[in-house]
Structure 1
């Protein structure tokens, strides 16, 4: 069926209208067709075309002279008019679940074959020629060059928050390999140390983009490379940071014991460094709380959260915080505390903390707002607050659709699964309608 002829999603207000719900439950298609016509602007001729019925048959149904009882016809009506299956006593239809919610950890992309754009690509110099040209035109590095590298890394992180890192990854990896190539030449100790630090940050950022895309094996490889680069210059704070990232990944992979071991190693590295700041120690204590919460260790989780807050209170404006930890501000401390309570099942304690953090959070951080909103919705649903939970989750859909993040999608999926017992409620139907609008379902014809 051409896209122009494919039905739009029925309005949420129609799908949640008690009259429509009752008509569908009774399979009273005379009423269903009349409501679809008056409330959605889909006229009988269009109903016939979308449901693979004859116009005269639709007219007879609306006039009450004919009933539609065969299951295959009922299924065609559900698919043609986009009426959720359970409303008509059917199993869930394939189009009801957005494609994004059916994904799992993704395999690495395969090398593409020759495509339409290959001819243009062939007119560009190869990677080996690029490398030769770089060698021929390289200028001596100085502190301004290092500052430019660091500025680009900060820009990558900012764009990652706004849009996700997948589209940025080729540029980040390219810059990483360029900087690693620079390390092969002998330079002054300060410049060489700065290059190692920049390469470590680029490797961690690359690992993070793979982690956010749920490509965990690749993430671990780059995190390991970041550790090795930081070890070359004995940057123990940064090594602690990378280990903390790997610990967080462990919680997503359902490997809480690994997560706890990694964050313990991170804390050991941080304590062995003379310049570790309270902000870094506070962040690490919160990662420890996540690991304990995933294991269900209530007392240990609370103790780690208390330590995180104690360390945070020791922060002074004069502290020489590394740039990579400045994101861990009061808002982040509050929301992470709420999430740790949520992981323990302490929804009533978690909800006001996450809600408070969301009010404070920058609107430019699309991923953070989506991520934290789904956590808030889950804590509300845990307390039986169905209307609030669906409202919160609906608000989260717009930032979720604006950022490419499989990690955010996994949290949406968890809320979606948690909503299963309530799917027939009007507020849940409205949420699903908005979900399908912003995150389209599997494409393709509605029926053969």
Structure 2
């Protein structure tokens, strides 16, 4: 039991609780606020529990000491030494899930060594009392900016609960604190930005319904905050999800995202939204519309000078536009256009960005296949597999799957056999 607890193997914890202590799954479900069928699935080895709120709930329900789970001492534990209460202005912010920021931070740090959660950078959420001053939203946005850098090197499986916790904490603050009308609008803008970051991590880790819900919440919040750029970006995220199913809906939503942000949006914002529109057109097979949207994105990038841009578009530059151009031409089955754009851009792409680089290499491999360059496609696929190994994102393997299936018809080639064996391993 101790081994299972320290590994956060709650399926084994539940199974032992029933077999050795006679606690029924229905009782565990009721006390831990988990559906009975999910308790049964976990006990049979299917799935895992990773969110801070749920782990804390299980700890309290089963009276598991916090230290065993990487949590702070639970309220029901006897203190080992007298302690003084914190002043009210230093009380941690309670999230909707019932956890708090201090416990959450300790959970992430202590869990990181076991590969259960990503260790947060040494960042503290800005302290705030019941009354929120006008400078607080900007300090909170700066923290959001720093935490966004985790996405440069980690997949959504590692970052989702971090970003979701930030979103929930800000949401609770808005609910419980007092502030001026102007500060309220600024807090809503930060909340919308945080919802988009959490939604992106959910999408990247395969939690598509969670992503949709967060994008929709972000859009509603951005509208209330009168932040048209963020409202437009929320629609762009929704369009990016939609194109894999309803292509026409994806195009319409992407076009609405550009219209919502409007012509007065920052150049970086317009470039990003036009890129997403180009992608929607490309997936639908509309070459002329794709080319026009890419040209619009390039024109917007040319307008960027020293004027400030939102941090959430900081990654959109000429190299990123080259990658999107190559991706679009790959979808349109134009390898002679796709390969040079992707090769040039990827040559400048650092391997530290393993998830994104492996993803983009999947489109390069796809284009090589379309051009009949089987060995080159296999070599690029092999490299993409190396990069994506251990990345907590479902997307690289999802993208590489059809490439690997097509390579399967050429197994007689040594380069292909090596790539296929690597994928199998």
Cα gap change, 1:182 to 1:114, in 2 (>3 Å)? closer
* Secondary structure at the counterpart of residue 300 of structure 1: helix
- 2:320 maps to what in 1? 332
CA-to-partner distance for each residue in 1:377-398, whole Å, 9 max, x for gaps?
1111111111111111111122
Q: CA deviation at 1:402?
A: 3.4
Indicate the structure whose relative CO is greater, using CA pairs within 8 Å and at least 6 residues apart: 1
Structure 2 contact 131–178 (Cα < 8 Å) conserved: no
Counterpart check, 1:150 vs 2:141: yes
- CA-based RMSD of the aligned residues comes to 3.1
Q: Unmatched 5+ residue regions in structure 1?
A: 1-105, 441-448
Tell whether 2:418 aligns with 1:430. yes
Equivalent residue for 1:281? 270
Q: Please name the residue that 1:3 is paired with.
A: none
Distance in 1 between the 2:260 and 2:58 partners? 48
- Structure 1 partner of 2:5: none
CA radius of gyration, larger in = 1
**Partner deviation per Cα, 1:339-383 (whole Å, 9 max, x = no partner):** 111110101110010011101223321111111111111111111
Aligned-pair CA distance for 1:148 = 4.1
Q: Deviations over 1:397-426 (max 9, x none)?
A: 222113111111111112111212112321
The 2-side partners of 1:142 and 1:321 are apart by 24
Contact 2:366 2:377 in 1 (8 A): yes
1:140–1:186 distance in 2 versus 1, CA, 3 Å: closer
Cα deviations across residues 127-154 of structure 1 (Å, max 9, x unaligned)? 64859x99x9836544664344323323
Measure the CA separation in 1 of the matches of 2:99 and 2:332: 55
Corresponding residue number in structure 1 for 2:172: 181
CA distance in 1, matches of 2:391, 2:191: 26
Confirm or deny that 1:302 pairs with 2:247: no
Q: What residue ranges of structure 2 are gaps of 5+ in the alignment?
A: 1-46, 77-96, 104-124
Relative to the length of structure 1, the TM-score reads 0.66
Q: Which of 241, 246, 255 is the aligned partner of 2:238?
A: 246
Q: Distance in 2 between matches of 1:304 and 1:214?
A: 28
Distance apart, 1:118 and its partner CA: 6.4
Alignment of 1:2-401 (within 5 A): 119-121=64-66, 124-125=74-75, 128=98, 130=100, 138=129, 140-142=131-133, 145-184=136-175, 185-251=177-243, 253-271=244-262, 274=264, 276-313=265-302, 315-401=303-389
**1:202-254 Cα deviation digits (max 9, x unpaired):** 11111111111232222110000111111111100111111111111112x32
Match of 2:122 in 1: none
Q: Normalising by structure 2, what TM-score?
A: 0.70
Is the 2:365–2:378 Cα contact (8 Å) retained in structure 1?
yes
Could you say if the C-alpha distance between residues 407 and 108 of structure 1 is closer, same or farther in structure 2, counting changes exceeding 3 Å? farther
